[in-house]
């Protein structure tokens, strides 16, 4: 088989597996998640450069002289490239490497997750469109690895001529579909985590006090009039001391997840060194 096709097959497989791993930040942690994202981006650039001749050839004959299947392949590739560009861009904005102060971190995080899910779906579609090439290249690669001069040639021809049909397609589609669904479910859990955190923060904010305006009450003076005040030796002012009243303690928590390690959230800060995030403690 062609050595170039074998390299392209392995690059595509590593790209897909590495992209799936970025969806499981609970397992990888934030630091490894960032390095995985950068590695996938670098490998993606290599993948695009390896297919640059095909892209140029289809683009030159986009409106004539090419098939609709080739146009579909090019459209899917463009969407995937734009999706990865947005994912890597927003990931660098939120990364701990640059510490860029974002106005609304949760907004960028939510869009980062949504574009990751959309790009993953397009990657799965691209793999399904190329399922026959995937099966053929994988089968030829296994045959090259098992090649033995002692085995007669007719046995190899019999293996080569085995048909590629529905069973192979279901196997490829099943593996791609399961990986895509599991990764997307993990991303949706992270998105739900953001929404729950925002809801809890809004719910724990104390309501603003409201004062009802009441008209002043007129007090009638029923005491009899005094003609002249009685002489006093010295006027002694009396002062009433106000008894201090203890205000109710209101514990406002900006995030109720009480993180002990910044594995998921870049906002983690521990200024009092108690191994707990300050956002999960009382203000």
Is 226 within the bounds of a domain?
Answer: no
Point out the least confidently predicted range of 124-138, 222-236, 268-282.
Answer: 222-236
Query: Of 37, 93, 36, which is closest to residue 266 (Cα–Cα)?
Result: 93
Residue 15: in which H helix or E strand, if any? helix 3-21
| Gap between the Cα atoms of 63 and 66, Å rounded | 8
* Residue 221 DSSP label: -
Query: Of 203, 191, 64, 180, which is closest to residue 128 (Cα–Cα)?
Result: 180
CB count within 10 Å of CB 117 equals: 18
Residue 218 has a pLDDT of: 54
158-204: per-residue pLDDT in tens? 444 467 788 899 999 999 999 999 999 999 988 887 777 666 655 55
198-230: per-residue pLDDT in tens? 666 555 555 555 555 555 555 555 555 555 555
Is 129 within the bounds of a domain?
Answer: yes
Model confidence, pTM: 0.67
Is 164 within the bounds of a domain?
Answer: no
Is 194 within the bounds of a domain?
Answer: no
Tokens (6 digits) for 128: 């399904």
Tokens (6 digits) for 239: 């002062």
| Gap between the Cα atoms of 10 and 138, Å rounded | 9
What sign does the CA torsion over 84, 88, 89, 93 have? positive
Dihedral, CA of residue 41, residue 46, residue 47 and residue 52, to nearest 10: 130
Across the range 93-109, mean pLDDT stands at 87
Residue 150 has a pLDDT of: 47
| Gap between the Cα atoms of 281 and 251, Å rounded | 8
57-95: per-residue pLDDT in tens? 998 888 877 888 999 999 999 999 999 999 999 999 999
Is 149 within the bounds of a domain?
Answer: no
- Residue 9, domain extent: 3-144
Is 33 within the bounds of a domain?
Answer: yes
- Say which residue the tokens 């942690």 belong to: 29
Query: Of 46, 14, 27, 35, which is closest to residue 92 (Cα–Cα)?
Result: 35
Is 44 within the bounds of a domain?
Answer: yes
Distances in Å between the alpha carbon of 258 and those of 25, 270, 279?
18, 11, 8
Question: Could you tell me if 147 and 176 are in contact, meaning their C-beta atoms sit under 8 angstroms apart?
Answer: no
Residue 147 has a pLDDT of: 59
pLDDT of 108 > 80? The answer is: yes
Is 80 within the bounds of a domain?
Answer: yes
How many distinct structural domains can be found in the chain? 1
């Amino acid at each position: 088989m062609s050595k170039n096709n074998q390299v392209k097959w392995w690059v595509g497989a590593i790209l897909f597996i590495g992209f799936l791993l970025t969806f499981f930040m609970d397992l990888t942690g934030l630091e490894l998640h960032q390095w995985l994202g950068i590695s996938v981006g670098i490998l993606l650039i290599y993948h695009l450069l390896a297919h640059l001749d095909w892209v140029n050839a289809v683009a030159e004959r986009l409106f004539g002289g090419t098939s609709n299947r080739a146009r579909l392949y090019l459209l899917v590739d463009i969407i995937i490239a734009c999706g990865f560009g947005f994912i890597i861009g927003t990931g660098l904005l939120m990364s701990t490497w640059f510490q860029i102060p974002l106005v609304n971190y949760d907004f960028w995080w939510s869009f980062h997750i949504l574009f990751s899910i959309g790009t993953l779906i397009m990657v799965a579609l691209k793999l399904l469109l190329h399922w026959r090439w995937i099966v053929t290249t994988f089968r030829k690669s296994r045959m090259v690895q098992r090649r033995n001069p002692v085995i007669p040639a007719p046995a190899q021809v019999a293996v080569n001529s085995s048909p590629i049909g529905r069973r192979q397609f279901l196997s490829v589609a099943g593996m791609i579909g399961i990986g895509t669904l599991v990764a997307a479910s993990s991303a949706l859990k992270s998105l739900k985590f953001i929404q729950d955190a925002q809801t809890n923060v809004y719910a724990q904010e104390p309501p603003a006090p409201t004062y009802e305006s009441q008209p002043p009450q007129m007090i009638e003076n029923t005491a009899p009039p005094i003609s002249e005040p009685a002489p006093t030796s010295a006027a002694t002012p009396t002062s009433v001391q106000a008894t201090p009243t203890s205000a109710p303690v209101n514990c406002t928590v900006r995030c109720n997840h009480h993180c002990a390690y910044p594995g998921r959230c870049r906002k983690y800060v521990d200024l009092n060194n108690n191994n707990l995030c300050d956002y999960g403690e009382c203000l």
